[in-house]
Structure 1
Amino acid sequence: MTDWTGGAARIARITLHPVLHVMGEAGAYGMARGLVAARGATIVEVETNTGISGFGEAWGPPGFTAAYLDFVLADWRGARLVDHGALFHRLLARNYHFGVQNGLMALLSGIDMAVHDALGKEHGLPVHALIGGRARDSVPVYGSGGYFTADPALGLQAQLPRFRDFPACKIKIGRGVADDVARVRLARETLGPEMRIAVDANGNYGLDQVLASMRAIAPFGIEWYEEPLSPADEEGYRALMARREIPVATGEALYTAFAFDHLLAPRVIDMAQPDLALCGGLSQGRLIGQLCTLRHARLSPHVWGTGLGLAAAVHLVAAQPPYPAVTESEVDPPWVEYDVADNPLRDELLREPLRPVGGMIAVPDAPGLGVEPDRAALERFRPR
């Protein structure tokens, strides 16, 4: 008889695997706030006393989370997998002076993801079955890119063809209204009238600048305007909601469901975009999804890291109920972000990475996240 309490499954060891992909200064790309010459993350491995390993992703440059590991080990080592929620909130409550916008939350996000992976493997269940059940067999993905680049030859014009296999795409803006218009016009003229185009300013504007940008680009048909304001500008989001000409999305830099509630409770955003490697993992992601249901907002996880973060986002969206619609008549299912830049941390880190086909990713049915890191690749991408 299966022990559904998971009493025998306890955390024996937590190991961090930092990974890094270096593009170099000439190949740097990014957003209005600046470019990056490398991409990194930390893979969190949770080993149980039953011989199972679960894996998760912690956001940020390698080393960002490592300093917090010794701090949490005393709580997590020996704990039952099924008690992960209680442990998470105990750490937050006991260490409230730390706040949540830090590497500790990134580490806890990776641990939470890894625990869900281990729990699924322990009981032979996919992660979506642990967080509400499967509401859809596949999830739609949009192509994310259109970056600012250090090399003009690698700029927007060169990136646009990568969107051809997707029904929707997102490009970077945020360097002034005239530049916003030029970039959106180029995308629309190149990709045609059927392509659904979203934009992302990465919080590089104030309210007046956002309103001017929205007025200028709205005629091109924009699906959503991502991070129009700084994450800290909650009053700005309230003022923007009443005057917006394009749906507003944000969330990649928000930590825990508490921060999302500040924007969802007054309904000042249209779409929540949690990054599961940063916001608190699948547990907080599920809670954010429930807030979206309560507030009739859309959910679309932010994904820019490794293949593990992508897999977790797929499971979260698979479990998100289509309320108020039913799945069969869901007009616009929640999207998952799929970065179109070269990303070996997604495409080469896993034994069998998830790949979109026709703009969709099939929801894994294997136990846990349904993907597994290649240990040789973990070593290959380890910073030297």
Structure 2
Amino acid sequence: MTDLPSLEEMLAAAHVVTLPMRVRFRGVTEREAVLLKGPRGWAEWAPFPEYGDADAARWLLASVELGWGEVPAPVRIEVGVNATVPAVGPGEVEGVLATFDARRTAKVKVAERGQSLTDDVARVTEVRRVLGPDARIRVDANGAWSVADAAEALTALFRVGLEYAEQPCATVEELAALRLALARAGVDVPIAADESIRRAEDPLRVAREGAADLVVVKVAPLGGVARALAIVEACGLPAVVSSALDTSVGLAGGVALAAALPQLDHDCGLGTAALLAADVVPDPLLPRAGTLTTDRAQEARDGVDPRRVAAYRSGAERQQWWRERLGRAHAHLAAQV
């Protein structure tokens, strides 16, 4: 593990920015992030505001690894990337997909609060129409369905053709029950665990209890590339790497993880820079022909533009909020050393 820098050093390296979103995503219309300029390069720390200090501390570990340490060596230089479709109406789907140079795989948000299964089916059906019969479509419910609701929804969406369903239910027990219910009903939709991995005290439980067919891993919530690799190895399940609505700097960490996985059979959710209306680098880390490369990821980390950082600098109140939060997360880590 990389030695934890002092709080004073990290505060001196911190730049808080607020970036506008192109579309509402997970209820977010602006993305706040802390950029940290460490001796090994730029890193990002951006735990969502509702997360507690323990979660925020794990995100900080990932920032320390990227900015002050070293990441594991890659075994590939190119990573396939999926498009991401927020919970928009069918009429907006084609416009969203047009922002992604990644058209063979799409992840579609479902189970949005205030929407119905009819809305979800219409959205996924439109994605299928736009991308064609050979595209791979996965859905993400962020744990919002009950087992019964998930079984009903995935039975309906199965007819459109799904690669897998990401975190359809909230708990490990529910995921296991859902897998059994789908198998009994002859609905062949693999289950991927996301929140049950990245926000769990015991991320290996999904594998032990047969609750998932694959795992979704994210660098920041799991505490860095090395820690995420160890979790994937211990789970023994296929893995997909996804982002946490990062800037291009954070996405570069996701590319490092995807490039270092011993086996990678699925396109990764690392194209979300397309959801930002502004970024901190002149050339955002967007897929080209559906892929990202390790070279471009490094260019993103090296290419942070001070003028953009200044232009999107958060207001004084948010600066103070994030700096105080950084202090609490740092103290949480320091207490564990």
TM-score, normalised by the number of residues in structure 2: 0.77
Deviations 1:16-61 (A, max 9, x none): 32211245xxx75234xxx333222222344xxxxx2543222335
Deviations 1:132-181 (A, max 9, x none): x32212011111124337xx97x334324335642111112213322222
Q: Which of 26, 38, 44 is the matching residue for 2:30?
A: 38
Give 1:371's aligned residue: 302
Opposite residue 171 of structure 1, the aligned amino acid is V
Opposite residue 230 of structure 2, the aligned amino acid is L
**What SS does structure 1 have at the residue aligned with 2:103?**
coil
Q: Which of 93, 102, 120 is the matching residue for 2:52?
A: 102
Q: Which of 192, 197, 217 is the matching residue for 1:249?
A: 192
Paired with 2:15 and 2:96, the residues of 1 have a C-alpha distance of 31
Give 2:314's aligned residue: 383
Contact 2:197/2:206 (<8 A) preserved = no
The structure with the larger Rg is 1
Shift of 1:239: 0.5
Paired with 2:286 and 2:158, the residues of 1 have a C-alpha distance of 32
Shift of 1:379: 2.0
- Please say if 1:20 is aligned against 2:18: yes
Paired with 2:304 and 2:167, the residues of 1 have a C-alpha distance of 31
Shift of 1:370: 5.0
Opposite residue 17 of structure 2, the aligned amino acid is V
Shift of 1:317: 0.9
- Please say if 1:159 is aligned against 2:96: yes
Paired with 1:207 and 1:181, the residues of 2 have a C-alpha distance of 18
Shift of 1:188: 1.2
Q: Which of 275, 285, 288 is the matching residue for 1:357?
A: 288
Q: Number of matched residues?
A: 304
Give 2:174's aligned residue: 236
Q: What are the ranges of 5 or more consecutive residues in structure 1 without an aligned counterpart? A: 47-51, 66-100, 121-126, 323-329
Shift of 1:300: 2.3
TM-score, normalised by the number of residues in structure 1: 0.69
Paired with 2:173 and 2:140, the residues of 1 have a C-alpha distance of 20
Shift of 1:267: 2.9
Paired with 1:144 and 1:262, the residues of 2 have a C-alpha distance of 28
Cα gap change, 1:255/1:44 in structure 2, threshold over 3 Å: closer, same or farther?
Answer: farther
Shift of 1:278: 2.4
Deviations 1:164-208 (A, max 9, x none): 642111112213322222222222122211221111222221110
Shift of 1:250: 2.8
Contact 2:15/2:36 (<8 A) preserved = yes
Give 1:96's aligned residue: none
Contact 1:163/1:169 (<8 A) preserved = no
- Please say if 1:119 is aligned against 2:69: yes
Give 2:331's aligned residue: none
Q: What are the ranges of 5 or more consecutive residues in structure 2 without an aligned counterpart? A: 183-187, 316-337
Opposite residue 281 of structure 2, the aligned amino acid is L
Paired with 1:254 and 1:102, the residues of 2 have a C-alpha distance of 17
**What SS does structure 1 have at the residue aligned with 2:219?**
coil
Contact 2:214/2:239 (<8 A) preserved = yes
Percent sequence identity is 23
